Amino acid sequence: MDVTKRVNLVTRNTLEVITKEDAEAIFRSTSSPKGYIGVEPSGLFHLGWVIWVYKFKDLMAAGVKMTLLEATWHAWINDKFAGDMAKIQLCSSYIEHCLKALGVDLQKVKIIKADEMIDKKVYWEGLLKIAKSLSLSRVKRAVTIMGRKEDETLVDFSKLIYPCMQVEDIFYLDLDFCLGGMDQRRAHVLAREVAEANGYKKPVAVHTPLLSSLQGAGRMESMDETDAAMIDYKMSKSRPESCIFIHDSPEEVKAKLNSAYCPPKEIEGNSVLDLARYVLMYEKDFTIKRSPKYGGDVNFASPAELLSAYQQGSVHPLDLKNAVSDGISSLLAPVREYFKKVPEANNALESLRAPPKCQ
């Protein structure tokens, strides 16, 4: 595969790549660059994560040797599962099953747990070098990568270590590509700045869209200035009413979409439109079935076509919801089947769903 095709695979369906020129240079200099995504084992897998799964597959198809970093200690710092490391570790295993169910060939993926890295002296040496090159205010601005607002660093000091850890993860793993949603932008930009200041290899940052909350959160403004707004905007597993989990039944999917934010002619923050364009239309057309009385079925070859038609009022919200509901239920059918057939996966899922025991 030539450089242009590889770069196109990396950049398609992204909101931002920093930078495309750097990506081209990497592919010209090596046939097997390294990339990663760091994932906190923090709860059930929802459709917002499916977007980065698509891009993870694209990077693999482009010849990037991908690493899945199971950010166990990061999740502990971030108070996931109330700091229960056993449950965090269980969630790591569960995430691997989710990726298999979604068609990721984990035989071709390097899987690393953060536990392995924090046992290494060189990891902490690198982290301290990074911390020494950053100001307190710079680090505080980056805590939004944790899904937390800047003032939440007052809760405990460990929250300030997290951004430095994420940057060191990148250098410790000697990465060429860093994958994440737009909520990870600050960490990736920080890594590029630290690299430039210290003569390290500068990673290319690949940023995918965020799915908006099913409840609606209004417009998300610019990439740089609305980290707090971004936290409230996106689909989040910590707010189950705001998202669709990949295990949801067709009935649950339909019920959630029937009550989802989807005002006529409005495309900003429209969660149902986001599901159509970012999840269902990643590689294929999208068809809305309608009665001949209302013009019959209509097919859209691109997200831009769908957005334009919806904004003009030629697509009714209920028709859109019904089509998205059918599409999501069909997309998730193999996932539901996988968890039925694999006892270990289903047991992990049920354990994570179970309410915490009273002390």
What are the pLDDT digits (tens) for 190-244?
999 999 888 899 999 999 999 888 887 654 444 444 454 444 456 666 566 678 9
Residue 11 has pLDDT above 90, yes or no: yes
Fold of 3-208: Rossmann fold (3.40.50)
Please, which pLDDT band fits residue 358 given cuts at 50, 70 and 90? very low
Q: What is the pLDDT of residue 171?
A: 95
Residue 128 has pLDDT above 60, yes or no: yes
Q: Where does the chain hold its CATH 3.40.50.620 domain(s)?
A: 3-208
The average confidence (pLDDT) of the chain is 88
Q: What is the pLDDT of residue 283?
A: 87
Q: What is the pLDDT of residue 357?
A: 58
User: Domain 238-353, what architecture?
Assistant: Orthogonal Bundle (1.10)
Residue 27 has pLDDT above 60, yes or no: yes
Measured over the CA atoms of residue 64, residue 69, residue 70 and residue 71, the dihedral's sign is negative
pTM of the entire predicted model: 0.90
The residue type at 349: L
**Cα dist. 139→129, 133, 150, 160, 225 in Å?**
14, 10, 9, 6, 15
Q: Where does the chain hold its CATH 1.10.240.10 domain(s)?
A: 238-353
Measured between alpha carbons, how far is 271 from 212 in angstroms, rounded to an integer? Answer: 5
Residue length, the chain? 359
Q: Provide the pairing of β-strand 34-39 with 177-181.
A: parallel
